[in-house]
């Protein structure tokens, strides 16, 4: 079985690393363009497969984002079958009244604007594929109709804004045969997830028991996300899909 080419941001740890590991195990011929900020620190990622290409990318740098097309050309990639926007930040588990301007701007810059700008740079390569999947890793914190009553301010708002862009992209690209979705990977015991969960324990202790039952390891989450990605069809275009494969409300 011939493999596919995946472009995964933030592949060096957490969900991105486990998703990469899942895709390599699924088909050794899969090629993974794995973005990392510091290639020298990605030895474990590189060791997963000879078909993993380490790709330098800093979501906070416009220069780095602008260099994506030329970097793809350097490695001889002109077609991407599956784009996965995974890298993000979560550092605003405080109330709206307490959240300072710099945190609002930082979360919007990384979790929304960078995701869109990166996709703009890889769009032509994805459009050349017959698969045409664009996956944005979102969060249950980004839903408006099933709001989780705990302070998330800039983080929750950024994921809601990302979800809006997913809906818009799914409409704009439907006629081209794209499948554009958001995926909520669950409450995951990554460094970022554990930090946030610890703060939730303090701010909203009544939620801890119910949220604890939903906690996943990075491997469980990465595998769940991978299974969803592989099963996507054009009928899923525009959906917000939970890690358990159920559809989330926006």
The alpha carbon of residue 89 and the mean position of all alpha carbons in its chain are separated, in whole angstroms, by 11
Neighbours of 191 (CB within 10 A): 11
Query: Which one is catalytic: 6, 93, 155, 250?
Result: 155
Query: Which one is catalytic: 159, 174, 239, 245?
Result: 159
pLDDT, position 150: 86
CA distance 227 to 214: 18
The answer to whether 155 is a known catalytic residue is yes
CATH classification (class only), 5-242: alpha beta
- The neighbouring-strand residues paired with 5 are 31
Mean pLDDT, each 10-residue run in order, the chain (250 residues)? 92 96 96 96 94 97 98 97 97 94 98 98 98 97 88 95 98 98 88 49 54 77 97 98 95
The answer to whether 101 is a known catalytic residue is no
pLDDT, position 65: 98
Query: In the chain, what is the straight-line distance between the N-terminal and C-terminal CA atoms, in Å?
Result: 36
pLDDT, position 147: 85
pLDDT, position 149: 84
User: What residues contact residue 224 under an 8 Å CB cut-off, 6+ apart?
Assistant: 185, 186, 216, 243, 244, 245
Helices (H), 98-236: 101-108, 114-127, 153-172, 191-203, 205-212, 218-231
- Full-model pTM: 0.90
pLDDT, position 193: 45
């Amino acid at each position: 079985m011939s493999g596919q080419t995946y472009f995964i941001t933030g592949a060096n740890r957490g969900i991105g690393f486990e998703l990469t590991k899942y895709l390599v195990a699924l088909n050794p011929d899969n090629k993974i363009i794995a973005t990392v900020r510091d290639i020298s620190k990605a030895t474990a990622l590189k060791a997963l497969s000879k078909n993993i290409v380490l790709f330098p990318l800093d979501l906070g740098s416009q220069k780095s984002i602008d260099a994506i097309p030329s970097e793809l050309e350097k490695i001889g990639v002109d077609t991407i079958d599956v784009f996965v926007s995974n890298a993000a930040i979560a550092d605003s588990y405080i109330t709206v009244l307490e959240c300072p301007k710099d945190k609002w701007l930082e979360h919007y810059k990384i979790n929304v604007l960078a995701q869109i700008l990166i996709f703009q740079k890889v769009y032509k390569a994805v459009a050349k594929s017959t698969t045409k999947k664009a996956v944005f890793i979102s969060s249950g914190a980004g839903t408006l109709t099933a709001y989780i009553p705990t302070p998330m301010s800039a983080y929750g708002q950024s994921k809601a804004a990302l979800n809006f862009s997913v809906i818009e992209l799914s409409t704009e690209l439907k006629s081209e045969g794209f499948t554009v979705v958001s995926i909520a990977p669950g409450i995951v015991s990554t460094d970022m997830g554990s930090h946030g969960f610890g703060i939730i324990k303090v701010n909203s202790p009544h939620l801890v028991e119910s949220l604890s039952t939903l906690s996943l390891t990075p491997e469980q989450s990465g595998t769940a996300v991978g299974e969803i990605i592989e099963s996507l069809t054009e009928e899923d275009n525009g959906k917000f899909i939970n890690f358990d494969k159920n559809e989330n409300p926006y």
